[in-house]
Structure 1
Amino acid sequence: MTGVAAGESYLRVSLSRQTLEWMMDARSLRCWPVSTARNGPGERRGSECTPRGWHRVRARIGEGQPLNTVFRGRRPTGELYGEALAARHPGRDWILTRILWLGGLEPGFNRYGDVDTTWRYVYIHGSPDHGVTGIPASHGCVRLRSPDMLDLFERVPVGMKVLIEV
């Protein structure tokens, strides 16, 4: 189950351009800067790479939470990201504002077994602005600035397709 039908919108993540685009009929309707995996593309569990291919949004997490809400294990911690919190936790991988949890659609490539995107916990999620520089820096997820993540989240339904390509 890959590809999209005519008139169906989808998200396209470009690893080489470090962008996420809202697409319809091969036209980009909107574009946001992102940061993907520091380790580049790859599908293996434990690789900290961003998985390629067709995915779908399997869950939307964080609706109604304030901007910069901190998440751990897909649950809000009760914290709001800020300079003081960042100073107390300098090495933390910040997952902020909203989460779109991805599931692979290509058996043997990004679905099932050691390549399953869902069980690798790969998300599109909010990040502090300094985490989205156009340079790959994440642990496998697709990071957006928190205001951009909020904008994207409001538009994306569960089940929407996502293509991640080099």
Structure 2
Amino acid sequence: MVDPASPPIGPDEVWIRVSIARQDLCLQQGSELRKKYLVSTARAGPGELNGSGCTPRGWHQVRAKIGGHEPLGAVFVGRRPTGEIYDEALAVRYPQRDWILTRILWLSGLEPGRNRLGERDTMRRYIYIHGCPDSAELGQPGSHGCIRMRNEDVADLFERVPVGTRVVISE
């Protein structure tokens, strides 16, 4: 369900709806569902505070798209490709790494006081929609705040949405 207080969605507008309860991401065009993906949101649940490890709720936009020419499984650190491709040997070598793979859709909050500015700023928290290892469980909370997707799925979504695409994250 779209928040009635939000700006209206045009009939041709492409936008993203993330459900924390269902652990899914829906690509919409107006009121029509175009594609549904399984995701994993924060293990710590929903929340907006800096340092919380929670997935922020409310209206956002895709602020930046990163990694469009990288191969599936490309590893990112600090939003930059490392030149590595994820595999089990790399996972063993770096067991504490929070793996950000394939593509990044960096989110920015659109609601001052809720998910933008001050102690509740989605962009400054580096909240992304991104790829994860194939071994990561989706369909249940498990991330550090971001929205994790299968590598093939995030690459597909990346190609379908432009910078500026609105994203609503709800419980």
Q: What is the Cα deviation at residue 130 of structure 1?
A: 2.2
User: Which residue in the other structure is 1:156 paired with?
Assistant: 161
User: Which residue in the other structure is 2:58 paired with?
Assistant: 53
TM-score where L is the length of structure 2: 0.93
Per-residue CA shift, 1:53-83, capped at 9, x if unaligned? Answer: 0000000000111110000000001111001
Tell me the distance in 1 between the aligned counterparts of 2:9 and 2:52. Answer: 28
Q: Which amino acid aligns with 1:73?
A: G
Q: Which amino acid aligns with 1:10?
A: W
Is 1:34 matched with 2:39? yes
Equivalent residue runs for 1:75-94 within 5 Å: 75-94=80-99
User: Which residue in the other structure is 1:108 paired with?
Assistant: 113
User: Which residue in the other structure is 1:136 paired with?
Assistant: 141
Per-residue CA shift, 1:91-118, capped at 9, x if unaligned? Answer: 2110000000000000100011000100
Is 1:19 matched with 2:24? yes
Contact (CA 8 Å) 2:11, 2:31: kept in 1 or not?
Answer: no
Tell me the distance in 2 between the aligned counterparts of 1:63 and 1:7. Answer: 24
Contact (CA 8 Å) 1:132, 1:143: kept in 2 or not?
Answer: no
Q: What is the Cα deviation at residue 89 of structure 1?
A: 1.3
Stretch moving more, 23-32 or 91-100: 23-32
Cα pair distance change 1:36/1:3, threshold 3 Å:
farther
TM-score where L is the length of structure 1: 0.96
The 3-state SS of whatever aligns with 2:119 is helix
**Any gaps of 5 or more consecutive residues in structure 2?**
1-5
Q: What is the Cα deviation at residue 9 of structure 1?
A: 1.6
**Any gaps of 5 or more consecutive residues in structure 1?**
none
Contact (CA 8 Å) 2:14, 2:161: kept in 1 or not?
Answer: no
Q: What is the Cα deviation at residue 3 of structure 1?
A: 4.3
What's the RMSD between the two structures over aligned residues?
1.1
